[in-house]
Every structure is written in structure tokens, then in C-alpha cells.
Amino acid sequence: MSLTTDESASSATPGSAGSRRADGTHRLTSMLAPRGIAIVGASDNSGWSRYTYANLIRGGYPHATHLVNRRGEPVHGQPVVTSLRDIGQPVDLAYVLTGPPSLPSVMADAAVAGVRNLVVIAAGFGEMGEEGHKREEQLAELARGYDQLILGPNNLGFINTPDSTMPWSQAMPWPMQSGGVGIMSQSGALGIFLLNYLQSRDVGISHLVTVGNEAMVTVAEGIDYLVEQEGTRVIALYLESVRHPDVFLAAAERAMKAGKPIVAYKAGRGALGAKVTAAHTGSLAGDDRVFDAVFRQHGIIRVDSIEDLVTTCGLLDAYGELPGTRVAFVTGSGAMCGVIGDSAEANGLELPEFAESTVEELRAVGLPEFATAQNPLDTTGYVVIDTNLLPNSEAVVSRDPNIDMLVVNGSVPATQEAATFMSRYFTRRVELSKVSPVPVISMEFLPSDQTPFSREFRRSEGAPYVVDSLTRGIPALAKAIWWSGLRRATRETTEAPAAGPAIAGVPGAGGEWSERQVGELLAANGVPVIPQRLVTSASEAASAGEQTGFPVALKISAPGLAHKTDSGGVVLGVGSAEAAAHAYEQIVTAVADAAPGTPIEGVLVSPMRAEGVDLLVGIVRDGTWGLTLVVGLGGIWVEVLADSAVRALPVTPGEVREMLTELKSFPLLTGSRGAEPVDLDELTRVIARIGAIAVALGDDVEELEINPLRAAGSSIEVLDALVRWRSAATDGAAEAGLPA
Amino acid sequence: MSLTTDESASSATPGSAGSRRADGTHRLTSMLAPRGIAIVGASDNSGWSRYTYANLIRGGYPHATHLVNRRGEPVHGQPVVTSLRDIGQPVDLAYVLTGPPSLPSVMADAAVAGVRNLVVIAAGFGEMGEEGHKREEQLAELARGYDQLILGPNNLGFINTPDSTMPWSQAMPWPMQSGGVGIMSQSGALGIFLLNYLQSRDVGISHLVTVGNEAMVTVAEGIDYLVEQEGTRVIALYLESVRHPDVFLAAAERAMKAGKPIVAYKAGRGALGAKVTAAHTGSLAGDDRVFDAVFRQHGIIRVDSIEDLVTTCGLLDAYGELPGTRVAFVTGSGAMCGVIGDSAEANGLELPEFAESTVEELRAVGLPEFATAQNPLDTTGYVVIDTNLLPNSEAVVSRDPNIDMLVVNGSVPATQEAATFMSRYFTRRVELSKVSPVPVISMEFLPSDQTPFSREFRRSEGAPYVVDSLTRGIPALAKAIWWSGLRRATRETTEAPAAGPAIAGVPGAGGEWSERQVGELLAANGVPVIPQRLVTSASEAASAGEQTGFPVALKISAPGLAHKTDSGGVVLGVGSAEAAAHAYEQIVTAVADAAPGTPIEGVLVSPMRAEGVDLLVGIVRDGTWGLTLVVGLGGIWVEVLADSAVRALPVTPGEVREMLTELKSFPLLTGSRGAEPVDLDELTRVIARIGAIAVALGDDVEELEINPLRAAGSSIEVLDALVRWRSAATDGAAEAGLPA
């Protein structure tokens, strides 16, 4: 399904230039910041209608709101028109509450009225199986014919805070807290809960867009739009699947360049979860590990809960890009330090020791002798007796030369009484955040809701945002630090990584290839392959063995024969010419018996190799993300432990190196237990090259598996390989993007 | 340090009978439910004093509160006395706010006044290094001399809700919510944060006791006390270490028998965390994996955060023991189902499919065709149109024969407006929980604070407790189900597991043992050990080889020689008498060169064994929990992956079997990759027997290591073993418990 059908798209790049109009505005601007909205199907009996209208009004929508209702009687105390055709003013958006059967005529009316955007709330489409899918596809086709764009169907509308545009079809918490978090959600219902939760965490949003079934506008185009919005500093995603992966990744790249982190919660991590969301959305959730890999490769922060999504976005919105990796904590409780210590370790935070000067200054400001001057710092219960101890300690630590940021325990008073009690600390904290050489991040110990009082108080005091809790805040901090490191690297690296030599053309992709053909392809492109001689008689086998040097291995060469060993097609450790001749006959007979009719090309004679570490290097095609590289150690490691690393292709050598170090079995490559260490540079080069070959094979390849790739010291060599081509009826690479 | 010094202790069992007085009341009753309290060091200038007095008054303390102050002037608007001696009324508890130097005279006064319990708030003891430790020990000694019991020092007091006794030296949230959770905390400061958090979660407590440095009363005795309290249904622990492990475990056993789950949060999971809390409490945190094992073996629920502690306790207090393992979820949102699916899988929840009758009934009550009738159930956004759909679906699912409990999405209205809006659902929910054949557990989607309105509203409506959120509630539910299963098993199993044959006495424990001696000990006690012949000459080696049958292995026998292979003390695969004689000379010479002066007992000749799976079975002594069994597969599995399972001894065969299945490498024992499956029953028997031998060795053994224990099919055999004895200066088994 392609959305790039509009001939006015000025560029082939989907999603980026292709989604911008001639006047430079994003195609979604007139949808999400419309000048003029018509609610179609407005009715006093409809909850959707009451909420949508009330929210538009209460949100201060600055343009005209029109109500459309076939019966023509006043609704919500306002006059109505009976058709979009009768409005007589420019309307950018038809917000359609009526059911599926009415949509064609609504769209026809919209076309006449020049309305190019529709939000369709009704369910009954892709989520309803085959028939619903068809109905949805027809809807999109119709819209494309009218040059219209549809958000939904099966969603709950959207909220655009900077533009005071809030056509949202459910209850929402007021006042709507404005802030830097732009949210794209594939679930509408989630939005209901999420808005309340965001408010209780004091996290303000720029946008909340529910995309429903994504008949036309998907999350990918939404990200693309949000990257451009000045008021959006962080992009939050609730995902069940990704429909336009190319647009998605291009938008993610633009987000990174713009310094706007993307934080994603994707349901369906477990197998059960995937089944459940599939039932819900009618979309097939991709394999979760590939999502992990792709997100990581593209700097997208993945979180494991809605709560973590909100905490991470709140932290990033408030504190932005962080200047380094070294964190100091100052608290007034040993129990907090215990929690911090455990969580910092679990999340890989770097907690450096304090400089000597800091330790001295801490004593000078009154840190008692029974307190240990370490990071995380427990200033002890003595803070109750010396009320300056905690703020003074925070100030001292903020100047420590070993740290890049300081985390302090803070909370915002929930009542006036608490505010009076805490005001001294609060004022000191605000002052510190102004003069500190490093960011000072406030984190609550345990979570508490932000009350209307606390939200107002924090703003009036100009106080920094308080992150939810240690339990949620520390993982969020670790993720923010990770993203900040990538962002720095992106800014500092302007060149693309050097490409390897070009890949030689592939003759005759498709059909069934023998191992020999795969070996030749690899060898021709810089991947060491064990030497092989193809022989077609017992006497040729004997002389090939002599040329190779005994002992040798003999292996059947037969395109399409998958289980060579099981079919009796392999004999190892053949020590003489006589034995080689005998092995040849044995193999050919065995394979003919085991797999009658298999076309036999001959037998491959190759040298026996020293023991080493055997790796599996596999490339498979993921339903969402395309060619994906899997690397693991062979045998039990992959089979019993599923010890493997995954990346979407293409990969850089740096990413391959990272994959190797991720393996639990990595120590086996570095010479644990007395083995010879493997040449990791060469191994990395070879695997990256295999990845590049797979990419060059492109749309034709379904699977490429090297098993084993034997690594023994500096010798890295393919011992066996197979390729599977896509069936003739390939579905092609989907192009996507919004019509301009 | 033993607390069982009181001659009136009627039994040797520490902590249980030993902590009960002649009249049957627990020794801690007069401490924690005292009739008459005197605050010593009462002062208007002291925050501690102001809070303690105010909290006692506001909490409605039903007995007399006396204020003691050397100066004798009125404090908190009340008359004071200058000494405990002057009160002239019975006082059960002196609540002492004065500093360390004053304590001896306060205790002397208390002794004269007949006050047998003291809470000591002051810091400056065990948390202050060597000197502080000594001071704390002296304090305890002094108390024992006076027959007094001290809670603390370095704590913040306690709260006893059923007895309206709340001597708590910090601010606390009012009204104090009474409930079934009894809390013992090794941190005082945590209590401050915890009380607010408990209130915001609507979790009520029976007790909060902060034990400070545990000079006399430790968490263990606290559990023992709480088990007896009628108002306590769940016991919550904040731990940094365990000081009286025997009392602790005995109390845990009594808690299980009484059907009161113990839920523990222990800081210091990571290495860094352990360092941090050690600095804080001056106590050495035990090895975390052993804590995990011990907690699990004794049915103690371990949680990983304060938030999880509160959620799990809240759930258990409200819903108690759960009747099975099969859970159904009914929601109105696909996003919730996604979260549930992922979390249920991650936490090992069992979500059975609905019975056919349930699916039919769901359609009958209006579940739309586009909704999938599966567990977890998403009734879809259609619930907005048909407001009976959700409650009807819940009722239908509650009657499903495949489930043991139903989880529904619920929240308590936070305001009157919300209450009016939600009342229909709320009433139906309350009705359902009364008629449902299975427990109906309410869980919020995302967490929100319980407001004064919501707490009051829930009680007035008689509505069930609402568990915090899906993210916290599902792991808590999984833990509650785990505990409930243990509880059922405990109730159903009345006999102790059959003990194996008695262990033969150990001659000459201590000193350095050769491998041969260890082998004989094991063999004499039912553990198969590879046959070994001890020879002391080359010719004996040759004939021993002939008797054994070639090939054989020769190995040095030298007590105390640790690295036999490295010292040239091992020759494998010896194929003839001549070779055996030669190997003998070679070994003796090599060891004499490599480790001069090592007393050589001779050389062991044993048969070569077929390959198999090699296991490491080790017993080590943990600082807190004593002898601990570690089982893992040898080689890379233990060395590279640290793939091992841990339990405190003694263990049942069932626990050993569980340990094996925990191993990542377990598939290697069951015949993965074509290997012969190991006889797991025999392997389990042998490992359990090794554990029993270690237990029989008792206080003398420091370490017993079998490496390898070779398992090949049904042959399980010790190939090598060593024992290390404790040094002569053993510190003995600490006895503990409260004086009666």
C-alpha cells in the first residue's frame, strides 16, 4: 500500500520532502492545525460529539467550529448545517463521527466543499478481519481519489496544545498542561488514561494524536510532522506495529538531527502480548528483537511501560540533552542510597568517586564524621539538626570536577502548609539549579501525584521539574544519557562511514543455489571461503584430495539439498586417495538413496581445518524491517541458549563489533579458558562484508546463512553457506509517505 | 552476641518459645503496646520531642504519657518530672531522646522505676565504626544487666495502630490508615517517606517498627511478634541485613503456618548497593543470591522496590490467599490487553483460554463480533455505547470454570464528580465481588494517588481495594499466587520429607584432607565415587592399572595440594603397565619440583571414564545463612556464564531438582543435541546426599567441592572432590532470641 500517489510530490524520498507542500508547510499542518473544523454527525445524544465540541470550546480553538447534522436541528445549543457543502466558509478539517455506511457521501460532500482532511472516529474497519480490511482499503482509495487525507479510522481525535486545537472525543483533564512532549498513539483508549497520568506527573504535551487503524496517516508521518513543530521537544510513541518503516526511519533520523529524542513504548514484547495486540489492531506485530535492534540503531529510546514512557519524556523535556555520563547523587537517607546503588548498577549508570577537594569541602560544610563521603552521598539524619547541611552538600557536589550531572532528592509541596515548611530547601534548590556548573536533576524518592497546587507552585517559583521517583527516574536517566551520547556523536560525526569495495554483480539470483555457488559469490566479494574442488568421479576425488593435501572433507554439492549430513552427504577426515575415492561413491549413493531425484552437481573436496570457534552468521528478512543480521556462536550457544545478537541491515563494522560483545559467549572469542583469541578486527570485517553482500543481493534474497563461519586465531573462514531466494511473486518494497 | 541470656527462657528454641513470657504474652508486647510511656529528654526545642508527643496525643494513646526533663520546667504545655524515678506510676516504656552519654543514668533510673523497655533514638553507635560498635555492645550489656530491652538505637520509634500507640518522632500523615500490614524497617528515614506513600496507595498498617541498629531487638524478633498480632495479616520488611538468621527463619515458618505472608525489600542487590548500605548501617550485607535462595526456600516474597513492597502487601492484605494459579483479565482497552499480555508472560502468570460456554455467553451479553473473545479480554470501545457490556462481561468471565480469579480494571473516584459519573460501574463491581465464585481483583491501569475522598468513598461503598496499576499489580499478583501455592502445600503436607540414611561419623574433621579421604567419606555415605587405588611405587601403579583395566588415570594424592593439574600431578589416558609405572615417577617428580615439601601420600589410579556432562557441586559457608549449596555445569558454564543455582542447606531432593531446572544449561542434561539424557532422579539423589553429608559435617566444614561430578546417562560419579575445614578458632553458631 503506497501513499505516495500524489503527482505533486516533489521528491522521491518518502515522508520527508514528499510530505511537504509547495509552500513549505507539512502536509499534516492543515489536518492537525486546521483553520476551520466541521464536526460531522454532531448530536446531543452522542458522547463523542458532546466531548469533541466541548473540548474545542474549552481549549480555546481560535477558528470557526461548524456543526453538521442531517436533521438540521440545533445541537449543543448551536445552529447546524445539513451538509459540508452548506458551510460556505473555508474548512480545513471534517471531524467525522458518523458510521462507515455514511462515509462515501460525507467524503463526496467534503470534496465539493474543498475539505481535504478527515478525522474518522468510527470503528468497523481493519480491526474486523478480512472484510473490514477491504472496507478500509476502499476508504483510503476513495480519499486518494478526492485528494483527501484521513486520520483514523477507529481513533479518538487529537490534541494540539500550541495551536489551542483540541478535537478530542473523550473526557480530558483540565487545565490541559502545555509542554514539549508530542505523542503519537496507535491506541485511542490509551489516550484517555494517558492524559490523566500525564497531568498527575506534571508532564505537559504539545500534541496527542491517536492514529487508529492508520488507513493513511501512520505514526511515521506523525513523527515527521512533530519533528518540525517548534513546541515539540520530545516525541513519545505508543506502538503496536510500524506500517511505513522507511518513513519511520527517515523521520527518526531527522528527529536525531533536530535534537528531539523519540521515546517508544511498544506493546507485544512477549509472544502472548503479540497475539493480543494482533487481535486488537488487525496488524501483525513484528518480531520484537528486531524492533529492539532497529530502535537502538536509530537512537530511539525504548521503554517497557507507559509509566516509563511518561517519566522518560518528562525528564528529557525538562532537562534536555545531558552533557556526559557521570552522575552524582546527594540524599538525606541511607535507604535512598541503597535504592540508588542497586538501580544505578542495574541500569549501568556511572557513579564516579568524589574528588578529594569535594570530600574536604563536604566535611567543611558539616558532613558528620559518621557519614561516608561517597557517591551516592547520604548526608544522614543529621540534616534534621543542621538544616543547611543538605543544600550545602548539594552545592559542594555540584562543583565536583568528576561529574557531569547532579541528582538531588526533591519533591514539590502538594499543599500550602507543606510549601511553607519546605520553602527554605526549595529556594536553595532553585538557586542551585541557576548557578550549578552541571545540570541539577530533582528526583522524588517515591512517586506522588502532582496536585493543582504543586503544579502551580512549581511554575510560580521557577523551580525545576521533579522526576517521578527513583525507581522510574534512574532507568529514565540512563536512557536519556544513552540518547545524549548518540546525539553528541551525531553532531560530531559529519561523514558517512567509509563503504567497503563494491559488491560484484550476482548472476542468476533466484532458483536454487548449491553451496559452491554461494561460496563463489562470497569469495568473489572479499569473504574468505574454504577452498573447494568440485569433482564428479571417484578418481577426480582421489586426485583432488592429493592436490588439497590429506586429510580432506568430502561434501555433496546439490542445489536445494538442505540437510547434507543427514542425507549421508558429508564425510570428514578422509586420509588417503583410496579413502577419498571410496568416500565419493559412498556419498553419491547415500544421497541418491536418501533424496531420490535430487540433481547432484558433484562432490566438493576441501581441506580439514583446525578446531576453532564456530559462528553462525545469518541474514533473514523481517516482515517490517527487511534484511536482518543475526550473529551467534554455533552449537549449544544458539540452539540451547538462543545466545545471539540482532541488527537490521545495513550495519557498520562498529555495530558488528558491538554485536559480538553483546553475546554471552563473547569470552570464548577472546581466549577464555586458554584458547587462542580470535582476531576480532578480521572477524568484524568479514561479518560486515557478509552483511554488505546481503544488502547488495537486495530484494531478491530471503535468507543467507553462513554456518559455520570458523574463527581460529586470525583465520576466519566460511565452511558452509546457503542462500534462499524470494519466491517469484515478491511483493516488492513498499513505498510510503503522504501525498503533498 | 546472644540475647537468650535470660534464665527464665523456658525453651532452647530461640525466638519462639524463648521470646514468650510465663503469662503467654510476647516479650515485645510491653515494648510495642506499653501501658504507660515516659518521653525522656522531652523539650520544646526538640523536633523529635514535639512530634513524638503530638503523635501520641493525636493517635489517641489510651494510657498515661509522662514527660521527663532534667530541668523540670513544663514542656509541650504539660508538667514534667526530672527523673523516671519520680513518676510514681507503672510505666512500660521509656522513649529516650537524650544522647549517648546520658543513657547509663537513664537506664539506671529506669531500672529503679521498674521500666523494662527503652526506645533509644540517638545515633552515634554501630553506624560509627569500631568505637561506635563497642559503645553499642556496652549499651546492650548494660540493658541485659538491668533486664531491660532496647529498641534502636538510631531509629525513629514505632506506630502501633490497633493499640492506638504511635510514638513516632517525625511528621506523619493523618488520619493514620489502619490496616493489616505490619512493617519492620531497618531504616528510620524510610519510614517518613513510606508512611506518605502507603497513604497515597490506601494501604493501611497495623504496625511500623523502625529497629535502627538492632542492638537487641532485630527484625527477626519483630516478625515473631507480628505473627501473633491479630490485626496483622501481612508482614512487610525493609532489610539491609539479617542479624539473627535462626530467629528470622523460625519466625518465617510460624508466619507461613499462620497464613501471614512476609514480603521483603532488601537493598544492596548489586555490588555497589551492598557497599552503600554497608556504609550506612555498619552491617555487612550478605551475598545477595543466597538471600534470594533462602527467601524462596522459606516462602518469603522478595520484591525489588519500595513501590512493589507496598503494592504486594496491599494486594495480599485485601485479597488474602488466592485459590489457584489461573487468572482471567477483563478490560475495555486493547492497549491494556497488550500491557497485560507482556507483563503476564514476563511474570509467568497463567492465562487460560475461556471455556466455550464463556465465549457464547460473552456474545450473548453483546460482545461485538469484531472483538476477540480471548483472555485477556478487550471488550473494545463499544463499552461506551453499551454501558452494560463491561460489567456483564466481567460477570460472565467470573463464572468461567477454567479460572481461579478474575482481574478487572478499576479505579476509585477521586472526586464527587467522578463518583457520580462512575457510580453505575462501581455499584456493579461491588455486587460482582459479592456473588462471584472467584476473587475479583480490581487493578488500575496507570497509578494514581488515592485522595481523602477516594479512601472514604471506597470504605463507605464497601468496595474492594484497587491495586496500584497493571505495571506494579501484575508482578505483585504473580508473587501472591506463588505464596498462596506454598501456603496450600504447607497446609496439605503434614509430614516432614523422608530423611535419607544417617550420615556415618566423620573421623578427624579439620586439618588438611587428601582427595582420597574425601572420596572415602562420600563413598561411605552413598555417593558414587570413581574407584581409586592408592599406590606408592611405580610397580604398584603398574599392577593397579592392570587390576583396574587400561586406560587409567593417575593423580597425585597429597593433602592440601590444591592445583593438582598445574603441578604436573595428573596424567590421563595411561594405556599400559609400563606407561603407568612411568607416569607414577613422572607425577611424583613433578609435584616434588612444583610444590617442594608437600607431603605426598601416593598416587591414585582410577579408570578412565566415558565423556559425559560435568557438574560442579559446591558447598560454601555464607556469612549470614551458613552452609550453602551451589550447583552448576562445569567449564564455561560456570566460569564464563556464572550459570549456577543456589540454595541454603539443608535441601530436599525436590529443591535440588528445581535447582537443576533453573540452570540455563539444563537442556544439556536432558539430551539436547543428541547426547544421552542424564538420569535426573539419580543425579538429584546424589546431589541431595552430598548436601546432607555437608550438613552432617556441620560447624566444622568451611567448603566441600565436588568438581567434577560426572553424569553420563545413569552413571553419576564423583571424579574429584576437596574439603576445607574451618580454622580452629571457629566463632560457633550464634544463638539469638529475646530474653523472656
Q: What is the mean pLDDT of each run of 10 residues along chain B (740 residues)?
A: 37 46 83 98 94 97 97 96 96 96 97 97 86 94 97 96 97 94 95 95 97 96 96 96 94 96 86 47 55 95 97 98 97 91 94 97 93 93 85 97 96 87 84 95 94 90 92 98 96 64 70 84 94 94 95 89 82 93 94 88 92 90 89 78 87 94 91 83 96 89 90 93 73 52
Residue A631, pLDDT score: 92
- Which residues, in sequence order, are bridge partners of residue B218? none
Query: Which 8-state DSSP code applies to residue A162?
Result: T
Give the pLDDT mean for A351-357.
97
Residues of chain B neighbouring A335 (CB-CB closer than 8 A): 187, 189-190, 238, 267, 280
Residue whose C-alpha is closest to residue A336's, from B195, B280, B219, B172: B280
**Is the CB of residue A123 less than 8 Å away from at least one CB of chain B?**
yes
- Name every chain A residue with its beta carbon within 8 A of the beta carbon of B189: 332-336, 381
Q: Best mutation site among A339, A351, A470 for testing chain B: the one with the most B CBs within 10 Å?
A: A339
Amino acid identity of residue B28, one-letter, is L
Following DSSP, what letter does each residue of A418-478 receive, concatenated? HHHHHHHHHHHHHHHHHH-SS-EEEE-SS--PPPHHHHHHHHHHTPPPEES-HHHHHHHHH
Considering only the beta carbons, identify the residue of B345, B376, B384 that sits closest to A270.
B345
Enter the DSSP assignment of B399: T
Tell me how close the Cα of B543 comes to any Cα of chain A, in angstroms.
35
Q: How does DSSP classify residue B488?
A: H
Gap between the Cα atoms of B586 and A400, Å rounded: 62
CB–CB contact B306 A447 (8 Å): no
Decide if pLDDT at A272 tops 80: no
CB-based contact A707:A634 (threshold 8 Å): yes
Tell me chain A's radius of gyration from C-alpha atoms. Answer: 31
- The predicted pLDDT at position B14 comes to 38
Contacts of B200 in chain A (CB under 8 A): 448-449
Range from A65-69, A164-168, B128-132, B140-144 carrying the lowest mean pLDDT: B128-132
What is the pLDDT averaged over residues A406-427? 87
The CA angle A684-A687-A691, to the nearest 5 degrees, is: 130
* Whether B448 and A193 lie within 8 Å, measured CB to CB: no
Closest partner residue to A446 among B193, B277, B378, by Cβ?
Answer: B193
Cβ-based contacts of B275 with chain A (< 8 Å): 341
| Interface contact B469-A664, CB threshold 8 A | no
3-state secondary structure of A278: helix
How many C-alpha atoms does A718 have within 13 Å on its Cβ side?
Answer: 27
- Grade residue A478 by pLDDT with cuts at 50, 70 and 90: very high
pLDDT of residue A22: 66
Q: State the Cα–Cα distance between residues A602 and A692, nearest whole angstrom.
A: 30
Which three cell numbers, joined as nine digits, stand for A397? 557536589
Tell whether A333 is within 8 A of chain B (Cβ). Answer: yes
Shortest CA gap A10–chain B (Å)? 37
What pLDDT was estimated at residue B3? 38
Interchain CB distance below 8 Å, A448 and B200? yes
Q: Which residue has the higher pLDDT, A492 or B350?
A: B350
Q: Which residues of A touch B99 (CB under 8 A)?
A: none
- pTM listed for this prediction: 0.91
Residues of B within 8 A of A273 (CB-CB) are 338, 341-342, 345
Which residues in chain B are contacts of A306 at CB distance < 8 A?
339, 446, 471
CA angle (B184 as vertex; B178, B187 as ends), nearest 5 = 115
Nearest to A181 by CA among A206, A161, A159, A198: A206
Residue A270's closest chain B neighbor by CA?
B342
Q: Which of B238, B336, B384 sits opposite A335 (nearest CB)?
A: B238
Whether residue B276 and residue A345 make contact (CB cut-off 8 A), yes or no, is: no
B335/A187 touch (CB, cutoff 8 Å), yes or no: yes
Cell of A384: 534534621
Cβ of A152 under 8 Å from any chain B Cβ?
A: no
Q: Is the pLDDT of residue A740 over 60?
A: no
Query: By C-alpha distance, which of A264, A262, A270, A265 is closest to A287?
Result: A270
DSSP assignment letter at A563: -
Nearest CA in chain B to A378: B280
Count Cβ atoms within 10 A of the Cβ of residue A253 and give its class: 0-12 exposed, 13-18 middle, 19 or more buried.
middle
Task: Average the pLDDT over A100-124 and give the result.
Answer: 96
Q: What pLDDT is recorded for position B497?
A: 56
Inter-chain CB proximity B339 and A306 less than 8 Å: yes
Q: Is the dihedral of CA A14, A15, A16, A17 positive or negative?
A: positive
CB A444 within 8 A of CB A409: yes
Contacts of residue B510, defined as CB under 8 A and 6 or more positions apart, other chains included, come to: B700, B725, B726, B728
Specify whether the CB–CB gap between A534 and A540 falls below 8 A: no
- Crossing angle between the packed helical segments B188-201 and B306-319, to the nearest 10 degrees: 50
Question: Which residues of A, range 158-197, sit inside 8 Å of B by Cβ?
Answer: 187-190, 193-194, 196-197
Contact A341 B273 (CB under 8 A): yes
Chain A residues in contact with B273 by the CB 8 A cut-off are: 338, 341-342, 345
Shortest distance, CA A577 to any CA of chain B (angstroms): 31
Can you say whether the dihedral through the CA atoms of B202, B203, B206, B212 is positive or negative? negative
8 A C-beta contact, residue B309 and residue B261: no
Pairing mode, strands A405-409 and A440-443: parallel
Work out whether the CA dihedral A150, A152, A158, A160 comes out positive or negative.
Answer: negative
Across the interface, do B639 and A193 touch by the CB < 8 Å criterion?
no
- Cα within 13 Å of Cα(B531), Cβ side: 9
Neighbours of B499 (CB within 10 A): 8
Q: Do A341 and B641 touch (CB under 8 A)?
A: no
Where residue A19 falls among pLDDT bands split at 50, 70, 90? low
- Read off the C-alpha cell for B246: 535462626
Partner-chain contact A345 B382, CB within 8 Å: no
Q: What is the pLDDT of residue A80?
A: 97
Q: Parallel, antiparallel, or unpaired: how do β-strands A301-303 and A262-266 relate?
A: parallel
Q: Do B341 and A187 touch (CB under 8 A)?
A: no
Q: How far is B266 from chain A (nearest CA, A)?
A: 9
Query: How far is residue B599's CA from residue B690's CA, in Å, rounded to a whole number?
Result: 28
pLDDT: which is higher, A14 or B629: B629
Residue B519: enclosing H or E segment and its boundaries? Answer: helix B515-524
For residue A635, is pLDDT > 90?
no
CB atoms within 10 A of CB B71: 9
Asked if A681 reaches chain B (Cβ–Cβ under 8 Å), the answer is no
Residue A2 has pLDDT above 50, yes or no: no
| Backbone phi and psi for residue A622, each to the nearest 5 degrees, phi listed first | -90, 145
Residues in A closer than 8 angstroms to B188, CB to CB, are 381
Closest CA of chain A from B125, distance in Å:
9
| Closest-approach residue (CA) in chain A for B48 | A384
How far A454 CA sits from the closest chain B CA (Å)?
14
pLDDT attached to residue B508? 67
Look at B188 and A381 and tell me if their CB atoms are within 8 Å: yes
| Mean pLDDT of the A373-390 span | 89
Position with higher pLDDT, A729 vs B572? B572
Q: Which residues of A touch B377 (CB under 8 A)?
A: none
A-to-B residue pairs, Cβ atoms closer than 8 angstroms: 230
Closest-CA residue of A relative to B156 is A381
Residue with cell 484497587: B466
Question: Which of A271, A304, A449 has the CB atom closest to B448's CB atom?
Answer: A449
Q: Which of residues 641-660 of A touch B (CB under 8 A)?
A: 641
Residues from chain A contacting residue B274 (CB–CB below 8 Å) = 341
H helices within B399-469, ranges in order?
A: 416-435, 452-461
**What gap in Å lies between CA B366 and CA B382, rounded to an integer?**
9
Task: Using a pLDDT cut of 70, give the percent of chain A over it.
Answer: 91
What per-residue confidence (pLDDT) applies to B362?
Answer: 98
What's the pLDDT at A603?
95
* Residue whose C-alpha cell reads 586470525 in the numeric block: A714
B369, A128 in Cβ contact below 8 A?
yes
Closest-approach residue (CA) in chain B for A48: B384
Cα A521 to chain centroid distance, Å, stands at 33
Q: How many whole angstroms separate alpha carbon A185 and alpha carbon A166?
A: 15
Judged by CB atoms closer than 8 Å, whether chains meet at B276 and A340 is answered as: yes
Return the pLDDT at A11. 35
- A279 close to B (CB below 8 A): yes
Instruction: Tell me which of A440-454, A559-573, B399-413 is least confident.
Output: A559-573
Residue A499 banded pLDDT, cuts 50, 70, 90? low
Concatenated DSSP letters of B131-149: HHHHHHHHHHHHHHHHT-E
Q: How many CB atoms lie within 10 A of CB A354?
A: 22
Residue B220 amino acid letter: A
Q: Which of A613, A625, A621, A691 is nearest to A657 (CA)?
A: A691
Residues in contact with B565: Cβ distance below 8 Å, sequence separation at least 6, in sequence order: none
- Within A634-685, strands assigned E span 644-648
